[in-house]
Each structure stands twice: as structure tokens, then as C-alpha cells.
Amino acid sequence: MTRIRHLVFPGDPCPWTVGPVTDTAAPVPPALDRTDPEGAIAAAAARCSNWGRWGVDDVLGTLNLLDEAKRVEGARLVRRGVSFSLAQAFDGDGPQKGWRRRTNPVHTMLDTGLDAERGQGFPHGLGGADDVVFMPLQASTQWDGLGHIFDHGTAYNGRRAGDVVTSEGDRVTGIQTAAAHIAGRGVLLDVGRAIGTEGELPDGFAITAEHLEATIAVQGETARVGRGDLVCVRTGRLARARREGWGDYAGGPSPGLSFTTADWLHGTEIAGIATDTWGFEVRPNEFDVAFQPLHQVAIPHIGLFIGEMWDLDVLAADCAADGVWDFSLTAAPLPVTGAVGAPVNPIAVK
């Protein structure tokens, strides 16, 4: 595999000229003004809005682009029958450290083998174990739902945020609405391997549309990205956390997508995108004062499903070995009624 050897750090000009991109690629967005996040968000929202595209009652957003034909295409990508779980573990040794009251999962046994030995009141010697888990729904590998982020009090498809998410949860676009839909063609873009150093990008590295297209060019035809695809972007951040400890993996500095990729995310017409990072977009964010501005465009305006903290390392090694970067991907969220995000165990099959 050809590899791009020059690593671009934030603020550096792109050192290569990317060839022709896919037909669905978006036009180049305006230059980023670090002092004006408000204006940049408003402009990107206007350019990339999907409000009304699938009707005023739509609750699926970009999942409308993942149709039956796309699922058939995904199923046909099973060639070897090799499967990969893309989920991190859900346990107490996880990435969370309490930011926004997010904790790691707490798993407790309700009945154990010791209870069975002492007798549980069942007939003919039957015994059993049972357990319970308490966890924030975005503690580990998960999808962000369409009710997770708002823009100036407005939710996806132009609804009032207060009409969508109440104390009872997301009553309109709850994550359960997506439970049957997220299965199709997955594509891995290993940006860390393509343009990083030893397979990883440094914290604060902003992945632009040019970086994504350059990675596609390096990986070849099976990495093409288009309508209805489920895109996985590997930065190598999780690999570093495994090697060095969790540290600030959840909430701290990280490589991630540049705000300027909003047009690419919209123009490619992908159904969903997931990364191996906590926040999906680059952190610190690219404006002087901002917090997750790409979320503010992608979720309430594009209606895009965003996955975070996915484990892409083993899959990436296999893709690099056989040169095949697309696969069948099933990634149904746990259908917690009214949830604005939910755990998922994505399964890629090649």
C-alpha cells in the first residue's frame, strides 16, 4: 500500500494536491475564521441543512439514505466470513472519569453461584445467576441520536428542542427509531495509518476533507465513500490510550474531524460516521472559543448519526493486510425508548 509520508500538523497547508474526488463530494467550504464560530456554524448550517428533505415528520435523518439496496450491497461484501466487534468493553476499567457526570459502567450481581448452592427456591435443583448494570448511555462505544445536540434551541428538522426532549426523554427522535436501520456497507478510512506516524495522529490534529480523500486514494477502490455508507474513521487515539493509559481520552485533547468537513459529510450523503475518539471532532476545537461546533451542524442540521469510542484497531490491521477496506456492518443501538444516545456493539463482517 502506498503511504503518504508527510504528516500535516494543525495550521499547516496541505502538502499534496488531491486528485478528482467522488461525484458526491461537496464544494470546498470557506476558509475558517477562528474568531467567528457563530458565523461559521450559521453558514455551514445553511449550506448543509437537510430540514424537510424527507418530510416534516422525518425522524431518521441521514439513515434515510441507507435503503434496502444498500443493505443488500453490504451483505454481499461478506467474502471470508471473518467478524470483528468494534466495541470497547463496558466495564469499570473504562475511559470515563466523571466529566458531565459520566461514569464507567457499574455491574452488580443480583444472584450468584453461591446463592444457587444455598438454594433459591426453585424446584428440582435449578439454580441461576442474574445481574444488573448502571451506566450513562454514552459511557463507551455508542451512537449519538438526533436529540443529543441542538442549535440555538432548535433540534433536527427545525423542531423546538423543548418539544423534542423533555424530562421523559426524546419523545420524537429517540434512539429506538434507529434500531432497525443501521446495517449496510461499512467503509474504514484509516487516516492514522495513511498520513500519521506509526499509525497514529497527534492530539489536536484536524482531519480535513482533503485528508479523507487522500486516505481514500491511498486505500483504493474498496475505500470509496458514497450515498448510504457507514464510514469509520480511525485516528489511532484509542491505540495510544491502550498503550499509555486512559488519561484524558474521554474529554481531553484528541485528533478528530475538522469543522470544515461539514460540507464533505453532507455532500457525500453518508448515512453515519464513527471514530475511535471520544468527541468525533478535533479537540481542542478549531475556534478560539468553541465547544463541539461540528456536532452543532452535523446532528441538528444534517441529521447525521455520529458514533464515538469505536474500537477499529483489529479491523484496521485486517484491512491493511488484505487491502479490502469495505465490509458488511451491523450497528444497531440498544433501543432505549427516548434515549438521546445508546450503547452499541458494531459487528463488521468481511
For residue 70, give the CATH number of its domain: 3.50.30.50
| Per-residue pLDDT in tens (0 to 9) along the chain, 350 residues | 433 333 433 333 333 233 333 344 445 677 899 999 999 999 999 999 999 999 999 999 999 999 999 999 999 999 999 999 999 999 999 999 877 789 999 999 999 999 999 999 999 999 999 999 999 999 999 999 999 999 999 999 999 999 999 999 999 999 999 999 999 999 999 999 999 999 999 999 999 999 999 999 999 999 999 999 999 999 999 999 999 999 999 999 999 999 999 999 999 999 999 999 999 999 999 999 999 999 999 999 999 999 999 999 999 999 999 999 999 999 999 999 999 999 999 999 99
271 and 158 in one domain?
yes
Tell me, yes or no, whether 80 and 117 share the same domain.
Answer: no
pTM of the prediction?
Answer: 0.91
Q: Which of 232, 231, 284 is nearest to 255 (CA)?
A: 284
- Do 124 and 203 belong together in one domain? no
Would you state the pLDDT for residue 203?
98
Instruction: Round to whole Å and give the CA distance between 262 and 43.
Output: 11
Residue 127 and residue 143 in one domain: no
Number of C-beta neighbours around residue 7 at 10 A:
14
Is residue 345 assigned to a domain? yes
Please tell me the predicted confidence (pLDDT) of residue 98.
77
The pLDDT value recorded for residue 17 is 30
pLDDT recorded at residue 111: 95
Tell me, yes or no, whether 322 lies in a domain: yes
pLDDT on residue 27: 55
Quick one: which of 350, 342, 279, 283 has its CA closest to 321?
350
| Same-domain pairing of 112 and 247 | no
Kindly state whether residue 8 falls inside one of the protein's structural domains. no
Same domain, 268 and 199: yes
Query: Residue 200 pairs with which residues in a beta bridge?
Result: 197
- Its domain, for residue 46, covers 37-94+138-349
The verdict on 122 and 205 lying in the same domain is no
Longest dimension (CA), the chain: 74
| Residue linked to cell 471514530 | 275
Number of domains in the chain: 2
Give the pLDDT of residue 28.
Answer: 63
Asked if residue 159 and residue 62 are part of one domain, the reply reads yes
Same structural domain for residues 239 and 113?
no
